[in-house]
Each structure stands twice: as C-alpha cells, then as structure tokens.
Structure 1
C-alpha cells in the first residue's frame, strides 16, 4: 500500500477547519442580515393589534356571526392557550395593515393544528394537515375586509393557537426572508449529507471501524434535521404526509444515533450503559407513538410525553461526560465538549417545548454546528492516526518482507547445505561378505556437526570414522566438511589410526575458529579379525558379544582435533569374532532428554544393547532408533546432533 504522507493530512485538516469557520461566518452574516431587517416586519406584527379569542364546542360555519360581546381580548404578547377538550379556538384581529402591502400574506411560524382562515366572510386558507410544524404563508385579499378570523381545532395535548412570529408581509418579501433566515441550514444540510457518504466510505474501507459507520448515520440524521427545518419543509408542504413523519421520526432518531456514536468512543462501562439506554429509548419511543394513536399517529402528542425521556437521557449523558472529563481522558476531550454542546442546546429547546423555560430563541441549530465541528475534528484525527498506523504497519511490513526474503534465502542456503552435507556423508548402509554397517543421523537443525564415514581399501579392509564438531548448526557443518576433506587427505594411511588423526589434526589446527572435533576411528583387518583404533576425545565405542556378561566400552587416549598442534594419539588393537557388534556414537545420545528432564545416558544405552544383543543388526538399529524417538517424545527434547554407526562382523 502506498504510504500517505503526513503533510497531506495537515492540509486536509486545515481545509476542514477553515471550511467550518467559513460556514459559521457565512451563517452569522445572514443572521445579522435577519436582525437588521427585523424592524420592518415588527411594524406589521399581529401582536401590535388588538386580538380576541372565542371558544366553541362545535365548528361555526361563518365565524362573522359570533357576537362582538362574546369575543375576549388576549393578554399582551399572546395568541394561544392550553388546549380545551373537543373545542374550537377562534382568533380575531384587524387586517388594516395590509393597506401598506402590494401582495399581502399573513406569515405565522406555528399554528396548531388544523387551520381555517377567514378574511371577513371569505374563506382564504385551509390546512388540514396534522402535526404540521413548518411556517404558514397565508395569502390575503389586498383590500381590507375589516378582520381576520383563524379557526383552530387541535389534537395536540398541550398548547393550541399561534406562536412565535405572526406578521403581515408581502409575499415575495416573506419568501426571501424565510429563505435567507434558513439559508445556512439549507446550505449546511447537503454538506452534512456528503460528509455522511464520505464516512460511510471510510467504514467500507475499514470494516472493523464502527466509529465511521455510526458517525455517518449521525451526520445523515443531522442533515435531515437541517434540511427539513424552515424553508425546505415549507416548500414541500404539498408532501406533508411524508415530510412530517420523516421530520418527527428523525427528531427522535437523532438522540438514538448520538448514543450509538458514544458507544464507539466512551470507556467500556459507559458503553454498556449507553447500549441499555439505546434499547430503552427505542422501546419507550414505540410505546409513546402507539399511546397517542388518534385517527392515526399523532407525533406532536407522542413528542409531548416522550420529551421527558429525552430530558432524562440528556442529564445522564451530561453526568457521564463530566465524569469522563474529570477523569482526564484527553483523547475524548473534543467528543465530550461536542456532547455537552449538543445535549445542552437540545435540552434547552426541549425544556422550552415543555414550557419550563420561556421561549426566546432556539439554539439547537447552533449546537449542531459546534457538535459536528468537534465530532468531525475527533473523527478526522482518528482517521489521521489510522493513516499513520497504516504507514507504520506498511513500514513494518516492508521490514518484515525484507527479513522474510532474507530468511527464505537462508532456508534455501540451508537446504543446499543440507544436500551438500548428505553428499559428504557415507551411505547409511553398507556391507560385504564379512562386514555389515548401518548408520543413523538426526540433526538438531537443518545441518549439523555430526558426520560418519566408512570406506573399504583394496585389500577388503574397512576404515570407519565417526566425528562430532562442537556446537551445532551451519558453523559446525562447515567444520565437519573440513574434517571430511582432512580425512580424505589421510587416505594413504588408513591402516594407521594414530597417523590418520595426526594428519587430520595438522590440517585443522588454526582453521576451525575455536571449534574442535572429537572423533573415533577403527580400522578393521578382515583377514586377521583385528580392530586397530584411536580416539580423539570422543566417547568410547561399545562392543556387544553374545557370550560376554555385559556390553564393553573401549577407548584410547587422545585430545580433540583442531586444538593443539603436534598432538600424538594412542593406538590399541582388539581381536574380534564373528557375530560381534560394534557401536560408534556421538554424545548427542547421552544428552537426549525426556519430558521429565532425564537424560538417556550411557547406562540406559548399554542396557538396551544388552537386552537385544541377539537381534540382527537391522532389527537392533530399528529398536535403538525407536527407543530414542519415544524417549524424547518425537525428538522434542533433543539437545544436540545425534548419530551412530552399528557394525556387525559376519
């Protein structure tokens, strides 16, 4: 994978921060524009006119017939009441302001719930939508008719009437101002949607990173909230049967997505609590929806009771965030600040909806900006750390690949060395009419320092050598090869064991780099049935005779090869008989361990050979190999190279 340079991330991060600042600044400009232009619509506000209300238990076909004495004047700055069961609310005020307007409309931010508007005796507006929370732009006759009467029948459990901005405006002016006031929301929604798709892409690239999936869902929910508020929601009023459910469901879905995101980033204890809250959130939301089923689901009524659940969740999230923040988890600093911003702003607006706080302005929109900024910074930082971890892994992978290539090459070299070493060793089986030889070798590694050799001279006599280089592995194998060459060089003197070792030692001294060779050498004269032997610091060889009382070990004095120059070696002669067996071996047999850490040892070896002394040499070799294999549990506890030669006199 191509390495991602850190400066590219710095550029990306800088662009992200600058873009966020630009969007916030852009929004503030339009907010300032809205504030500067509040004076004009304020002069046409319905709150500046005498307003009257009338309650009726049944719908009145012509509200003009309501006697003047029955109309009750509103208190200042009010246009609504608490709901009265099975009643119609009528609100009346003058339409004289429209004289100043070319194409007059009545703009109302909120009217709950089904609406009929009369200008004089004329019915000018009908809205049969339930739970419609988007602005109303009600067209009016440009000629004053004396009064405007609004009929409202609400299924809503709480407030009934009109609220927020209720003003007379020109139609074009109202559309422009509505668009400008909501421009930042409308502009911000597609940005959130694009970011949602980007992080969804991150998730598919890194499937185990659930933080990207949950943040993508959170952005998608936020983009729908931003898009459906204000101008877009009003523009889609003809599709209110679709937009209203989507909007309300998303208002309840957003806390759910926030909890899912927190599960990814908070410590394990809080993750489990948030999972429990998520389940309770869904269950209570569904129960609340079906509890308020009146000729169809009423989202406003379900929200009225469900808001308390959101308030409790908000307090829990605030306490959890403060606890984690106090504990000093620096990695979650941006997340905690973003959580506190969105939860506090959402809590403020929810408490306003519950009429615990007075309505001044809604701050959830600004909370979205700040929360997504903090969350976005955290997720981008997480992604940056991910990229750097990938870079580190790539660097480590390249190092491992180089190491692997080196090891593969070493394995090839070892395989070649193993093949070369096998070519240096004599065959594991050899015989003629008087001698039978069987050999066995088990290296600790691919190559080792044990080797044996047996050769027959022109007179039919046999020269037999077994040697053990100190240590094991490649260095020992190289010295073993040198010893083999030295032994070949002593070929003219095979019948003189001491002379053979003297020549080998002279060739090896100073060339083995502190390694030395122990060896045992026999020359078998098949005519006289004698064995002349010498030893160079090697374990004794063993003689197995059927008529003897025990296995005998035979040796001669001599120092290991390759250590000292001008070294002399002792020769001894042994008479042999038909059916005698000789065992030459390396000390790897004695060093062989079992699972309890016990060594095979010389006594165990002699006891085994004596027990099976009457077996032929092939069977005896198989018994010996099997015993060594089982003792070490399949060579698992082998400590050194291991070799032996069994020689039988026919």
Structure 2
C-alpha cells in the first residue's frame, strides 16, 4: 500500500508559490506605474493642453457661443473642481491633436457624473448615467473643429469634472490597453468564482466547518469586485443601471464578508467583537444610503458616509491581529498576515477617497490577491489536516487488516514462489574449455520476474537466455515460469535465435494476463567462433573487446514476447575472438537510483565495463556487483529486479 504523504510537504510548496506570487505582485505594483508609462500617457494627455473652465447657472446649448474673455485658464494638472450647487461646469481644450490619430477617441479613465461632450458645435457624446465608475471611450470627429467642450452636471457632493487620466487615443489602442491593464482582474475573477464553489462544496461535506462557508462567500465577493470593476464591467456599461449598484454594494459587502470569515477563525473574545462590528457595519451603510437619497440612491455620496466605519474596522483588525500574534497563536498566522495586507491596502484606498493622501496608484487589487492567497492557504491547510487525520486512521486500519492477511496466506505463497524462482535460474557459474559464464540476480522482493538460462547442445555450442517479466513479485515469477517452459519447448531450434523467440511468443500470447516478457537470446558457435543473437524488446548486448576503442553495442529489432501473435524477430551475427566478453543484463540496472535520485544509466555501465576490461571475469563480475550495491546504498534505492550474465570467450 502506498504511504500517505505528510501534508506539510505540500504546504511548503504552497508557501513557496505564495511567496513568489507576493513578490511578483509587489514588483508589478511599481512596474505598472513607471515614469516611462506616465510619460507615454502625457504625450497625448489633455493636461498638456491649455484648458479653460466656465461656471454657469443655466445650461448653455452652444458652449462655442461663450465669449473668450469669460473663459478662465485651468491650473496645470487640474481638470476638476469642488462642486457648486445648481451650477453647470464647462471645460474646453483644443482638439488639434486628433490629426495624428486614425480613429480618435477621448479616453476618460474615471468619470463620476453625467456629462456632455461637444466638438465644435456638434454633440458627440452624452451620458445620463450617475455613479459611473468605469472608463469612457468618447468617439471624436477625425477632422479638428477647434475646441472640445465638456458640460458637467453632478449629484456628487465632493467633486465635479473628470478624474484621473484624460487622453487622446486611437479607438483600437484604447481597447487593447484597457484589456491589458485589467487582464489580471478579468483572468482571476473566474478562478476566484470556481474556488468559491469548491469551498462551498467543502462546507456541505463538513457541515460543522463554518470557515469553509464564510471563505466561499469572501471569494464570491472578491470575484465580483475583480470582474465588475475591470474590463468586464466596462463591456457591460450599457447595463450600468444594474452593474453600478451591484459593484458599489459589493464594495460594501466585502468588508462584511471579511468580518464573517474572521469570526470563524479568531478566538472567542474577538469573534464577539467582530460580530458587533459587522452588525454596526450594516447599520451605518443603510443610514448613509438613506441620508444621501436624492432623486434616487447616490452610492458615491453615501460612500463617504461609511468610510469611517471601514477605518474603525481596520484599526480593530490590526489591534486584534497584533494581540493574537503576540500571544503566540501560530494557527492563525496566515490570517494575521492576510489581514495586515488587506487593511493596509484598504486604508490606502480609503485615504485616497478622503483626499488625505494623493492618488498615485491604488494597491487594493494587489491586496485582494495577496490576502486571498494567505486566507486560502489557511483554509486549505485546515481542510488538509482534516483529510489527513481521516486518511491516516483509514490507512492504519487497512494496514492492520492487510498485515493479518499476510500472516495467514502470503508467507505460504512467498515460500512456494521462492522455491519456483530458484528452479528457474541456471547456476550462477558455468564453463568448459571454450566458454566461461558468471551470473548475478538481485530481486526487488523475495521473488521477481528476472531469470536467465544457459545450456549446451549436443555439439558443445552454448545457448544463453536472459529475460525480464514486466513488474515484479509473485505474478511476475509465475509468468517467468511459463517463459522458462516455453524456452525448454524450443530446445530443438537452439541454433536459430529468431525461431526460438517465434516459438516462445506463440506459446505465451494470450496467457500472460497483460504482462509481457523482454528477452535477449545468444547462441555461440564454438567451432566458427560466431555469436548469433535476437532481441525481444530487451536492452542491447554489450561486447567488451580489448582491440576496440570502446564498449560495442550489439542490437537487433524485436517486440516483447506475449503481446502480439505472428510476430517475427531479427537475427544478427557477430564474429568472436578469444578474450571477448559479452554482457547480458536486465533494465533494472539502468533504473537503479542513488540517494540524490540519479539513475545508474547506460553510460555509467559502459564506462565501468571499459575501465575494468583487463580484469579477469570473476573480478569484473565482483566489481560490477559491488558498484551497483554501493551506488544504491545497499539496494535501498532499487526500483526493479536486476540481473546480468557475463560471458567470456577463452
């Protein structure tokens, strides 16, 4: 039975991946906002163009009619103002830059209110949507009309105008850049959604483990934030009536979902504290919504009403995390790290909204990914510990049960199989006046599928066979016995190696029960000093000849025995010389491993044979056995049965 691995080895790999992910996120946080990118935007930005503004108590249908002396120049890098009640804001700037663009648009990264765009005297874009948080791609006429006018009318109490970057671009370029900038959100959103369903399934499997349910809700909320706040949300802008409320509600719900998750993992005192804050969070949210109700709900205005509760939640989370960490509770250290990451990211985002700090770039989405990574690691570890404890108990029961069966039955089978194995193998040493043979075999278990045979015909010629049955153990030993009988049945044709394999294969096909046999057969004619050999899917022979520059490979084509009927085998013949040596072996030698996991391999075997080619055959066999033994640290890293036969021509 396969041993159950410790979950700690897998958790270490997850920690490593999480560390790399955090490092990449930290790096991208700066790479996405390099000076080169900012300079590239400023080349087309209207912030480099002279811009003018004008306040009016009444709507002006033709902004081009406003006298030039009434326009006021806007300060550098400014395109928005504090709102004036019941007044319209008009902004104008030149449209001469569109001459350089094939399909010009005006790209607005973030607009917070209803506005109308006029190019010359023509209205080219108009929106009545409120609380719109996605970019606008405003198509322009390709022929300059002199000026572009934007009329703003806003319910938002804190700001009127355009926010963030406002840039001239080609339409296709803007779409591509928008998709690439939001690629991570678009890509991770479905992954988070799938993970949410997975952990919800964990909850139904373990109904008492509320942590899985709460984490599933947290993942679902994060998935909606990443999807609706990115390229997908922009693509669904025609459904802004539904998408915008869902987005803002989810922004509010995410801190609540985070509190629910913390309730399920923190100690009892903090659970009650988080429950109180979660309840207060909901109350403050609805109070803020109703306070800013004016001709419909304004989520942007109400957002400022509950920012303070978000800051309070952040402070409580930091204090409680530091306290739990100081008490040495290692079980929730991943949660503490995740909390600190999302709190820092969330506070940064909130302080930007409150204009406490300047907005250079937002880190909230990187905080999402890192927080969910650490939280996911904690939940996975928790679930894995449950599974591991159950698997460990089941494994112990299965092991004890199998051990009882082995005490009663397996010992008898092994004893019988071992006796059969001994009868299969020829003696490990044989010789006459022309040939000397030395063999070696090391089974992975008490019995195996390797065997070799060597015999003389009536003329004194030698027939030598080495075979390897797939797998190892009792089943392989039984098939090896069948192969032995098949080889004995081919005795009248020993001088024809291909014929021997043909007869053996015909006898074995359909009888080996999905096992197969690889083999090499060698027939040595002592009068002509030639060796004829055939191969049935087995490793090639090695010829060690002192007059050669290296060990020579003897190969012949052929498929394993017992698989295909009507199979033909090739024969090859090589001339022999006195002092020549031939090594027949099984692939268990190649598969032998050392402590570092390296295999013994063909090259190492060839080098060993060539280095000690001048030793006598007994010493060469001992050196080979000792090298294999030491390489595998006393057969501790043996992966398969292994055998070899050394044949020397006198």
What is the TM-score when the length of structure 1 is the normalising length?
A: 0.58
**C-alpha distance in structure 2 between counterparts of 1:29 and 1:272, whole Å:** 38
Pick closer, same or farther for the CA change 1:333–1:245 going to 2, 3 Å.
same
3-state DSSP of counterpart to 1:213:
helix
Aligned residue for 1:194, secondary structure, equals helix
Instruction: After TM superposition, give the deviation of residue 21 of structure 1 in Å.
Output: 4.0
CA–CA distance in 2 between the matches of 1:34 and 1:329?
A: 38
3-state DSSP of counterpart to 2:106: strand
1:347-375 Cα distance to aligned partner (Å, 9 max, x none): 11111001111111101011011111111
Secondary structure in 2 matching 1:265: coil
1:269 Cα shift?
Answer: 0.3
Residue aligning to 1:5:
4
Q: What residue is the counterpart of 1:54 in the other structure? A: 54
Say if 1:98 and 1:144, in contact at 8 Å, map to a contact too: yes
Deviations 1:375-406 (Å, cap 9, x if unpaired)?
1111111111111222345468779999xxxx
Matching of residue 180 in structure 1 with residue 180 in structure 2: yes
Deviations 1:134-187 (A, max 9, x none): 001111111111111111111011111112111111111111111111101111
State the SS of the aligned residue for 1:250. Answer: helix
Deviations 1:233-278 (A, max 9, x none): 1111001011101100000000000000000111100000101111
Which residue of the partner structure matches residue 343 of structure 2? 343
Alignment of 1:94-109 (within 5 A): 94-109=94-109
Cα deviation, 1:402-431, whole Å, max 9, x if unaligned, reads 9xxxxxxxxxxxxxxxxxxxxxxxxxxxxx
Cα deviation, residue 62, structure 1: 1.1
1:121 is matched with 121
CA displacement, residues 32-68 of structure 1 (integer Å, 9 cap, x when unaligned): 4774554333211111011111111121111111111
Report the counterpart of residue 138 of structure 2 in structure 1. Answer: 138
Paired residues of 1:341 and 1:370 also in contact (CA < 8 A): yes
- Whether the 8 Å contact between 1:4 and 1:387 is mirrored in structure 2 is no
- Are the equivalent residues in 2 in contact too, given 1:34–1:177 (CA < 8 A)? no
Report the number of matched residues. 401
Q: Deviations over 1:319-352 (max 9, x none)?
A: 1111111222111111001001001101111110
1:538-584 residue CA offsets vs partner (Å, 9 max, x unmatched): xxxxxxxxxxxxxxxxxxxxxxxxxxxxxxxxxxxxxxxxxxxxxxx
- Cα distance in 2, alignment partners of residues 26 and 262 from structure 1: 24
Distance 1:115 1:109 in 2: 14
Shift of 1:22: 6.2
Deviations 1:207-228 (A, max 9, x none): 1100001001001101111111
Secondary structure of 2:52's counterpart equals strand
Task: Write the mapping of 1:562-573 to structure 2, written as runs, cut at 5 A.
Answer: none
Q: Distance in 1 between matches of 2:185 and 2:197?
A: 19
Cα distance change of structure 1 residues 381 and 15 upon mapping to structure 2, 3 Å threshold:
closer
- Which has the greater radius of gyration? 1
Look up the match of 2:13: 14
**Contact in 1 for aligned 2:93/2:149 (Cα 8 Å):** yes
Distance 1:281 1:26 in 2: 30
Q: Aligned residue for 2:243? A: 243
Contact 2:18 2:374 in 1 (8 A): no
Aligned to 1:220: 220
Residues 289 and 17 (structure 1 numbering): CA distance in 2 closer, same or farther, change over 3 Å?
Answer: farther
Residue 34 to residue 309, structure 1, CA distance change in 2 (3 Å) = closer
Supply the distance in 1 between the matched residues of 2:82 and 2:145 (Cα, whole angstroms). Answer: 30
CA contact (8 A) 1:34 1:180 kept: no
5 Å-filtered alignment, 1:180-199, equals: 180-199=180-199
Partners of 2:333 and 2:26 lie apart in 1 by 26
* Partner Cα distance (1:210, 1:64) in 2: 63
Rounded Cα–Cα distance in structure 1 between residues aligned with 2:187 and 2:22: 9
Matches within 5 A, 1:275-294: 275-294=275-294
Residues 18 and 262 of structure 1: CA distance in aligned 2, closer, same or farther (over 3 Å): same
Compared CA separation, residues 248 and 20, structure 1 to 2 (3 A): farther
Secondary structure of the equivalent of 2:306? helix
**Unmatched runs of 5 consecutive residues or more in structure 1:** 403-650
Partners of 2:51 and 2:13 lie apart in 1 by 54
Which runs of 5 or more residues in structure 2 are unaligned? 403-650
Native 8 Å contact 1:158 1:304 kept in 2 = no
Q: CA deviation at 1:90?
A: 1.0
Map 1:293-304 onto structure 2 (within 5 A): 293-304=293-304
The 3-state SS of whatever aligns with 1:252 is: helix
For 1:38 and 1:292, locate their aligned partners in 2 and report how far apart those are by CA, in whole Å: 36
Secondary structure (helix, strand or coil) at the match of 2:264 reads helix
For residues 177 and 92 of structure 1, the distance between their equivalents in structure 2, rounded to whole angstroms, comes to 26
Native 8 Å contact 2:14 2:377 kept in 1: no
Q: How does 1:324-403 map to 2 (within 5 A)?
A: 324-394=324-394
Asked if the contact 2:221–2:250 (Cα under 8 Å) also holds between the matched residues in 1, the reply is yes
Q: Does 1:156 align with 2:152?
A: no
Evaluate the alpha carbon distance shift between residue 27 and residue 102 of structure 1 in structure 2; reply closer, same or farther with a 3 A threshold: farther
Normalising by structure 2, report the TM-score.
0.58
SS of residue matched to 1:6: coil
Q: Residues 239 and 4 (structure 1 numbering): CA distance in 2 closer, same or farther, change over 3 Å?
A: farther
The CA distance in 1 between the partners of 2:145 and 2:26, in whole Å, is: 40
Rate the CA distance shift 1:242–1:39 in 2: closer, same or farther, 3 A.
same
Q: Is the 8 A contact 2:7 2:385 kept in 1?
A: no
Residue 263 (structure 2) pairs with residue 256 (structure 1): no
C-alpha RMSD of the superposition? 2.6
Aligned residues of 2:25 and 2:366 also touching (Cα < 8 A): no
Q: Provide the residue aligned with 2:41 in structure 1.
A: 41
The alpha carbon displacement at 1:279 in A equals: 0.8
Residue number in structure 1 paired with 2:274: 274
Q: CA-to-partner distance for each residue in 1:272-324, whole Å, 9 max, x for gaps?
A: 01011111111111111122111111111111211122111111111111111
Partner residue in 2 for 1:574: none
Distance 1:20 1:182 in 2: 23
Distance change in 2, residues 1:18/1:325 (3 Å): closer
Contact 1:27/1:184 (<8 A) preserved? no
The farther-off stretch of 233-242 and 27-36 is 27-36
Task: Please name the residue that 2:112 is paired with.
Answer: 112
Identify if the C-alpha distance between structure 1 residues 398 and 109 changes in structure 2 by more than 3 Å, giving closer, same or farther: same
Contact 2:52 2:93 in 1 (8 A): yes
- CA displacement, residues 476-498 of structure 1 (integer Å, 9 cap, x when unaligned): xxxxxxxxxxxxxxxxxxxxxxx
Q: How does 1:445-484 map to 2 (within 5 A)?
A: none
* Residue of structure 1 in register with 2:165 after alignment: 165
Classify the secondary structure of the residue corresponding to 2:311. helix
Partner SS, residue 77 of structure 2: coil
Task: Give the 3 Å change call, closer, same or farther, for CA 329–27 of structure 1 in structure 2.
Answer: closer
